[in-house]
Structure formats: C-alpha cells, structure tokens
Structure 1
Amino acid sequence: MFGDLRRFDTNQSQGLDWFQQFLDEFFPESWAADIRSVPRGSFPMINVGRTDDAIRVYVFAAGLSSDDLEVNVQDNVLSLKGKRETVAPAPQGEGKRPYFRRERFDGEFARSIALPDGLDVDRAEARFHDGVFEVLLPKREELKPRRIDIQAA
C-alpha cells in the first residue's frame, strides 16, 4: 500500500528534511498566514505594541549582544540587520554527521517592519536586556491624544 513512499533511498534525517520541504510546497505560506504569523524560520521574532505616547518594538534575539544587531529607521520602515554565530560546533570525524536535528538559525539576517506615520524618530531609543531588544519610537506631540477640560458656562 505504501510502497511508493519507500522508494526514496534516504536515511532518517534526510527523509525528515524531504517531508518538511514537501509540506512547505504543498501548503504555501499564504495558505495559513494571518496577522499573527510569519514565515517559518523568520529571525528575530518581534512583538509590536502601541500606546498613546509611542510605538514599542520588542525584538527577541537570544544569544545576541547589542553589537550584533543594527537598528535603522527610514521612511517609516524599521530595519533590523545582524549576524548570529554558531554556538555548538559540529561533531568531527569519519562517518559522523554534522547534526541529527538542527533548528537554531545562524548566519546573517534582516527584517523590515512598516511603521505608522507620525513618529518622532529623532527621539527613538533602543535598549537591550536578557536577549530582548526594546525599540521605543515616540509619537510626535501634535499627534498624541489630548484631553480637553470642560469649563462651566
């Protein structure tokens, strides 16, 4: 019944790679994409929040230092660039495979995030703590909500 599935002469890890590629091709990203999802393998993962005073972008990049990430804002686009180094060396020797399973991305990366109008990028700040970068982009004063006091007539 399943003889056709066995015709591929692959070892177990190559078979898993083949199956993941098959699923990626069968279910394109747009099939299941929504506002809360990003393509598989996107790095770094981010959260974007809004308050009355600012836009806050949280960049989750465990294993990076503040020198490993470059943050730029131009034309209402926040750009993140950097490089993540390999943490664990591959096993050496004859007959040893580099990895049985490898999920951690390493190498160069870049992400861009569209921002709303009305931000004061000259006052933008970035902080780093425990693998989380916080980018604070304040709103311009004229765009912040204002309370109007009501006076008795």
Structure 2
Amino acid sequence: MFGDLRRFDTGRTQGRDWFRQLMDEMLPEAGAADIRSVPHGSFPMINVGRTDDAVRVYVFAAGLSAEDLEVSLQDNVLTVSGRREVAAAPEAARTDFRRERFHGEFSRTLALPDGLDVERAEARFRDGVCEVVLPKREELKPRRIEIQAA
C-alpha cells in the first residue's frame, strides 16, 4: 500500500535529485522538472555565450562525428540537427534494465541576437563538441574612444 512513498531522510546533495525524480514521476507530461529552459534529457546540450567579438555556441554531442551533425542558420535562428544511432548489439541478444541514452533523430533550435555577421559564421567539431562562432558586425563591436586634453 505504501510502496510508492519515498523516504524523507535524504541528504542535502541527494535532495535535489530526489525532488527531480519525484516531479518526473508526478508530472511526466510536463517534461521540465528542473530550472533549465529545456526539458530534462534534451539532446544535444547547448551552451551559448558572447565575447566582445562574437557569440559562441557550444553543442555537446558526445559519441557523434562532424558528419552526424547539421548546423543551419536562417533569420537569426540557429538549428542543430542530426541522428544518433543505437548501439551495435542486436536488440534480441541483450536485456536492458535501464536505457538512458537517446537514439534517433534530434533537432535543437535557438534564437540568436541581432547584429551578427552570419556570412562569416564558422563551425568546428572536436572531441564531441561542436563550436559555432558567429562574429559580431564591425559597427556593433565595442570600441575605445580616446580622450584628448583640451
């Protein structure tokens, strides 16, 4: 009768994971049980940052090669898509007790800020991370104005 109740003696570090799991079980259709802007388990994970010269997007795609990814840019919307294949072992030859690795087609889309020079955009792939560099237009880069003595 009480088999589904959780113990409440979790430590501080386990409390967050316990709460996330509890929310996932109570609200599975909601998809987002944490503070990130995408549902838990979205693939690939993406970091976006900016410098004075460019906006940089890091796509974390472990286990993929550059040929498995497609990066496109249209109207300041960046789309990363591709396909991750399932492991080589035949389905009938193994018994999975838990399967957390996503396989199949994926797509992530994010809006970029205005003022980028998309014609000079570059993408590099190394060690499972795709770095997309989107330079800022020259007129929008910060510049130093020299103060002249009167």
* TM-score computed with the length of structure 2 as normaliser: 0.78
Larger radius of gyration: 1
Match of 2:113 in 1: 116
Match of 2:50 in 1: 50
Q: Tell me by how many angstroms 1:116 deviates.
A: 0.2
- How many residues in Structure 1 have an aligned counterpart in Structure 2? 133
Q: Which runs of 5+ in 2 are unaligned?
A: 5-21
* TM-score computed with the length of structure 1 as normaliser: 0.77
Which whole-Å deviations, capped at 9, do the CAs of 1:17-37 have from their partners, x for residues lacking one?
xx88633338x346x554x44
Secondary structure of the 2:27 match is helix
Match of 2:72 in 1: 72
Flag the 1:148–1:119 CA change in 2: closer, same or farther, 3 A. Answer: same
Secondary structure of the 2:82 match is strand
Query: What value does the CA root-mean-square deviation take over the aligned residues?
Result: 2.3
2-structure distance, mates of 1:33, 1:116: 25
| Match among 19, 26, 40 for residue 23 of structure 1 | 26
Match of 1:2 in 2: 2
2-structure distance, mates of 1:90, 1:46: 31
2-structure distance, mates of 1:89, 1:24: 33
Flag the 1:84–1:29 CA change in 2: closer, same or farther, 3 A. Answer: closer
> Sequence identity, in percent?
68
Partner amino acid, structure 1, of 2:122? E
Which whole-Å deviations, capped at 9, do the CAs of 1:52-107 have from their partners, x for residues lacking one?
100000000011111110001111110011000112424535xx63x111111010
Runs (4+) of structure 1 exceeding 6 A deviation are none
Q: Tell me by how many angstroms 1:49 deviates.
A: 0.6
